[in-house]
Amino acid sequence: MPIKVIYRGKEIEIPEKKIKARELLKRLGLSPLSSLVVKNGEVISEEEYVEEGDEVRVVNAISGGA
């Protein structure tokens, strides 16, 4: 069963059963410097894994300043 990822309101399926967050971002064409992976409601590091059955969202980090 694929991993289901929510990104920008769309559901994307990744065919693996287990994948590192860093590789997930790479597959989506995103940088770990500008995007975060949220697994089951918690932000995870790029070295942690997501697996089928996890609730996974990818959000863009927003920065700003004066």
Q: Say if 19 falls within a structural domain.
A: yes
What is the extent of the structural domain holding 41? 3-60
**Cβ-contact 33, 46 below 8 angstroms:** no
Q: In the structure, how many helices (H) and strands (E) does the chain have?
A: 1, 7
CATH code of the domain covering residue 54: 3.10.20.30
Structural domain includes residue 65? no
* Any domain includes 20: yes
Note the pTM of the prediction, 2 decimals. 0.88
**For each of the chain's 66 residues, which pLDDT tens digit applies?**
899 999 999 999 999 999 999 999 999 999 999 999 999 999 999 999 999 999 999 999 876 666
* Cβ neighbours of residue 19 closer than 8 Å, sequence gap 6 or more: 3, 27, 49, 50
